[in-house]
Amino acid sequence: MCIRTREQLKQVLSELKALGCEKVIGVDEAGRGPIAGPVVAAAVWLPESFSALHELRDSKVLTEKMRLRLYRLLRKEAIIGIGTASPREIDRLNISAATLLAMWRAIHRLKFEPDAVLIDGTPLGELPYICIWVIGGDAMCPQISAASIVAKVVRDQHMMRAHKLYPQYGFNSHKGYATALHKRMLVENGPCPIHRLSFAPVRKACIPRLLLEDAQ
């Protein structure tokens, strides 16, 4: 099922509640677009008593300070599962399939079987659960907003650790996205182990180095 409006979401949630579905979780990912690093998915069961429920938003519209504060509250009050797919899995499977794999891993790590799963975006494939895909869900569904915050913070932390290993790429600033700085560093240094070799900017950046090696 795929829904697009708040009215549809409200109707679906009402129907799930009427069916006795109590374990309804939100799922979202961070890191589909970058050319380096993993894709990270978060699955979150959010209690109705969550202390900052009215503050939950799409992670992209929150400041880093706000995300971190909400993330810490979610770690205390919610139930969270994290799943990742590595750059090599992304290269092998493609980004959509790898994202779906990360989502399955996140749900699996909740240690309980959800009654239903609310997932941000358009359908990427099948999961062994009752899934409702919500276009724009990170902006209108608290469970998905919570998952978007967790996924974003966890992935950013991962990329900050990567920066310590590979400081020449500037991962601390762009988090693996294809910025002008990142692409320039790729040309100068070549890809490192966390680059996604199947992504066009990485392949393109390698061409000058390959030509230079052939010339030598």
In tens, the pLDDT along 78-127 reads 999 999 999 999 999 999 999 999 999 999 999 899 999 999 999 999 99
pTM: 0.92
For 56, 73, 135, 148, the CA distances from 50, given in Å and listed in that order, are: 10, 8, 24, 16
Average pLDDT rounded to a whole number, residues 2-16: 93
Instruction: Mark whether 128 and 197 lie in a shared domain.
Output: no
Integer Cα distance of 214 and 63 in angstroms: 46
Assigned token pair, 58: 């799409």
Q: Given this model, what pLDDT does residue 205 score?
A: 80
pLDDT band for 204, please (50, 70, 90 cuts).
confident
Q: Given this model, what pLDDT does residue 208 score?
A: 54
Q: Which amino acid is at 183?
A: K
pLDDT band for 174, please (50, 70, 90 cuts).
very high
Segment holding 149, helix H or strand E: helix 142-165
Integer Cα distance of 70 and 55 in angstroms: 8
- Domain carrying residue 154: 2-164
Instruction: Mark whether 47 and 88 lie in a shared domain.
Output: yes
- Partners of 132 in the β-ladder: 118
Closest-CA residue to 31 (of 183, 194, 167):
194
Instruction: Mark whether 143 and 52 lie in a shared domain.
Output: yes
Beta strand residue intervals within 74-124, DSSP E: 79-85, 116-120
Instruction: Mark whether 153 and 180 lie in a shared domain.
Output: no
In tens, the pLDDT along 129-150 reads 999 999 999 999 999 999 999 9
Integer Cα distance of 38 and 120 in angstroms: 18
CATH number of the domain encompassing residue 20: 3.30.420.10
